[in-house]
Amino acid sequence: MRRWRTLLAVLAAVVTAATMSPNPAAAANDPVVPFVVGGTRAAQGEFPWMVRLSMGCGGALYSPTLVLTAAHCVSRTGTNSSITATLGVVDLQSSSRVTRRSNYVYRAPGYNGSGDDWAFIRLASPVTGVATLPIATSTAYDSGTFTVAGWGANREGGSQQRYLLKATVPFVSDATCNSSSMYGGEVIAAEEICAGYTAGGVDTCQGDSGGPMFRQGASGWIQVGIVSWGDGCARPNKPGVYTQVSYFSSAIRSAATSLGG
């Protein structure tokens, strides 16, 4: 009897944890499970350029052979055939997934653990028939509402996901993000862009790193950020911090050219 009660208590706790969302609004819309953190499942084909990388990061298809990701997801610039990119599916176990081996890694020059958090992974052979995600080349789209997606943890300390999750997060200004109640000056204003709710509840998390943050531009989706860091996940007053793609767009473009496009 005691044993059953214990088992029931454990089950109840697990069910509660699985259905609880730190964001009350998300919980209301989301009777089943919380995702990314506080998001929902992406539809097949909704974000075709999303890439899962075997070291446990995300990425975005920039060209048929190049995946844009975070510098902190890779070791160093040079020949590298150790990474597998999975794409074309929301379900990583799907038999229709496309996989490619890397043949080269380009890490942002000057990356030393803070700032400059971008890198390219070159695929050994081009991916055909998969849309790419254009990058922002000016600050025109560095505000508003952004979409984030990834296979990372659906809560702080949670496990990696089989299905691609998505969420929307609002822009947070550098001044707000660097205020004493948030990151107190830790954010590199020129190079990084913050997004999230003051109340928390919706965010990217571990394993989403390197994946894109994007929004609608003049003609479709445009990448404005790369998942970089945050204090925990979805905590109040701790927005996600993203590499500001517009700031690095010239460097990204010339690196892409040097890597063969």
Binding residue for ligand ARG (CB under 6 A) from 87, 133, 227, 256?
Answer: 227
**28-66 exposure pattern, b = at least 16 Cβ within 10 A, e = fewer:** eebeebbbbbbbbbbeeeebbbbbbbeeebbbbbbbebb
Q: Taking CB under 6 A as the criterion, which residues in 103-162 touch ligand ARG?
A: 152
* 240 contacts ligand ARG (rule: CB under 6 A): yes
Q: What three-state secondary structure class fits 71?
A: helix
Q: Choose the catalytic residue: 117, 203, 228, 246.
A: 117
Q: Specify the residue for token string 């997801």.
A: 73
Based on CB atoms, which residue is closest to ligand ARG, 63 or 85? 85
Size of the site for ligand ARG (CB under 6 A): 13
Q: How many CB atoms lie within 10 A of CB 114?
A: 13
* 34 contacts ligand ARG (rule: CB under 6 A): no
* 38 contacts ligand ARG (rule: CB under 6 A): no
Strands 84-87 and 212-217: unpaired
Contact 50, 67 (CB under 8 A): no
> Rounded distance, CA 231 to CA 203, Å?
11
* 208 contacts ligand ARG (rule: CB under 6 A): yes
Annotation marks residue 143 as catalytic: no
- The residue nearest ligand ARG at its CB is 230
> Rounded distance, CA 231 to CA 77, Å?
28
* 207 contacts ligand ARG (rule: CB under 6 A): yes
> Rounded distance, CA 78 to CA 53, Å?
17
Annotation marks residue 209 as catalytic: yes
Based on CB atoms, which residue is closest to ligand ARG, 119 or 227? 227
Strands 98-107 and 119-123: antiparallel
Based on CB atoms, which residue is closest to ligand ARG, 36 or 127? 36
Based on CB atoms, which residue is closest to ligand ARG, 56 or 134? 56
Binding residue for ligand ARG (CB under 6 A) from 65, 69, 86, 206?
Answer: 206
Annotation marks residue 231 as catalytic: no
Contact 63, 132 (CB under 8 A): yes
Binding residue for ligand ARG (CB under 6 A) from 68, 90, 133, 205?
Answer: 205
Burial level of 227, CB count in 10 A (0-12/13-18/19+)? buried
Binding residue for ligand ARG (CB under 6 A) from 116, 191, 192, 203?
Answer: 203
| Tokens (6 digits) for 237 | 């007053």
Q: Give catalytic residues, as residue numbers.
A: 72, 117, 209
Interface residues with ligand ARG (CB under 6 A) are 152, 203-209, 227, 229-230, 233, 240
